[in-house]
Amino acid sequence: MEKTVIGFIGTGVMGRGMVRNLLQAGFTLHVYNRTKSKAEALLAEGAAWQDSPAKVAAVSDVTITMVGYPKDVESVYFDDGILEHAKKGAYVVDMTTSSPQLAAKISAAAKEKGLHALDAPVSGGDVGAEKGTLSIMVGGEPEDAEAMMPVFRAMGQKIVYQGKAGAGQHTKMANQIAIASNMIGVAEALAYAKYAGLDTDKVMESIETGAAGSWSLSHLGPRMLKGDFAPGFYVKHLIKDERIALESAQTMGLDTPGLALSKKIYESLADGGEENSGTQAIYKKYRKD
């Protein structure tokens, strides 16, 4: 699998670290990003540039996408893009957090063209992308998921096959629903500790390994307290995920009031100019200074 040629579309906050780990694993990489400057460091490290998603797909055995929104996913696959230009028998893997319904649409179209499609969204943020410790949630045909395991292992630590096309995206929606309310809880807990006059570092020491412990508390809590709101995962992208999750839940007849409240609070944060901040910027809603 080391000789496999991988195309990677989307070298932003997450994609950059994922590409680096694929390079370190010995894969040949061709990359594309709408803003070429965001890929320059990767080109210096050995990746090759292609100037369109179609050209990436044409030279790759595996094409991975890690873009922003479902509309971006649909565009790179269907607008004279990946599905039209990928080599027959190639694998196409969308790792964007996107719509389960769109994942099923891509899978069906890929099969018609003799391609193997997987939806494989990730969790773990920029730190997980950099360290190669992402959780990867895979939907599609089981044999295709198995074939991609060497590629996934270069980027992630926990790789779980979830089921048919769209199952990876549905799993990511469950992940985002859990995070949505948890982020509100983390911000409120740390604000409470601060305004109670406590040493917030000591509070963190006590609560992060107890029943209140979570990835968000341990990794994003310290950023909140330091006033570090740089994006590991953008506010605008969490709102996008919450919107997809709400729409999917409504389709299933499931009421998710916690998710709806989190989306409302995050939309208020974005309206205040924080859409390009990291999700830990929710802490600003509770600061008095």
pLDDT tens for 6-60 read 999 999 989 999 999 999 999 999 999 999 999 999 999 999 999 999 999 999 9
- Interatomic CA distance for residues 67 and 249, integer angstroms: 23
CATH of 171-285, one of 1.10.1040.10, 3.40.50.300, 3.90.1150.10, 1.10.3720.10: 1.10.1040.10
Strand partners, 159: 136
Domain ranges of the chain: 5-163, 171-285
Catalytic positions are: 172
Q: How many Cβ atoms sit within 10 Å of the Cβ of residue 254?
A: 12
CB-CB contact of 100 with 76 (8 Å): no
The one-character DSSP state at 87 is P
107: nearest Cα among 83, 89, 71, 131: 83
139: nearest Cα among 114, 113, 178, 108: 108
Q: What is the CATH number of domain 5-163?
A: 3.40.50.720
Strands 5-9 and 62-65: parallel
Q: How many Cβ atoms sit within 10 Å of the Cβ of residue 106?
A: 28
193-199 contacts, C-beta under 8 A, 24 or more apart: 194/225, 195/288
Strand partners, 241: none
Strands 122-123 and 116-119: unpaired
Strand partners, 179: none
Strand ranges in 107-228 using DSSP code E only, listed in sequence order: 116-119, 122-123, 134-140, 156-163
Tell me which residue has tokens 């807990």.
189
- Spell out the residues 6+ positions from residue 161 whose beta carbon is closer than 8 angstroms to its own: 138, 142, 145, 146
- Spell out the residues 6+ positions from residue 247 whose beta carbon is closer than 8 angstroms to its own: 99
Q: Which residues of the chain have pLDDT under 70?
A: 1-2, 289
pTM above 0.85, yes or no: yes
CB-CB contact of 137 with 161 (8 Å): no
Separation of CA 230 from chain center: 16
